[in-house]
Amino acid sequence: AQSVTQLGSHVSVSEGALVLLRCNYSSSVPPYLFWYVQYPNQGLQLLLKYTSAATLVKGINGFEAEFKKSETSFHLTKPSAHMSDAAEYFCAVSDGSSASKIIFGSGTRLSIRP
């Protein structure tokens, strides 16, 4: 069975500081991994995805994530936070065979301090 754990329901950083949102997964097969972002009163948008190619994945808005099999992690980072990055972020895992098996984490709310 697959699962995903997001460490920290709320993260607050200063504008210009490093953003680090943590995600650990559990999967019995090579996983597909995703990060989605949700802005207020909107649906989720795909930030980036890992599908067994390069372990460092670059996404939109300057975000990137690194797949570390040994740590079963897929943490999301951005070198310099911007006020517009304030949103809810979801990590998700899939076995790749069908989107019906996409499992979402409980989400991390990112706040940016001026």
Partner 1 sequence: DAGITQSPRYKITETGRQVTLMCHQTWSHSYMFWYRQDLGHGLRLIYYSAAADITDKGEVPDGYVVSRSKTENFPLTLESATRSQTSVYFCASFEPGYSPLHFGNGTRLTVT
Interface positions with partner 1 (CB under 8 A): 9, 34, 36, 41-46, 49, 90, 98-100, 102, 104-107
Nearer to partner 1, 42 or 80 (CB): 42
Minimum gap (Å) between residue 32 Cβ and partner 1: 10
Nearest to 21 by CA among 37, 2, 45, 43: 37
64: which 2 tokens? 């990137």
Nearer to partner 1, 56 or 99 (CB): 99
Minimum gap (Å) between residue 60 Cβ and partner 1: 12
Report the 10 Å Cβ neighbour count for 50.
19
Minimum gap (Å) between residue 106 Cβ and partner 1: 4
Nearer to partner 1, 17 or 59 (CB): 59
| 85-to-31, 53, 81 alpha-carbon distances in Å | 27, 27, 7
Distance CA 15, CA 104 (A): 27
Minimum gap (Å) between residue 44 Cβ and partner 1: 5
Nearer to partner 1, 46 or 83 (CB): 46
What is the bridge-based pairing of β-strands 64-68 and 73-78?
antiparallel
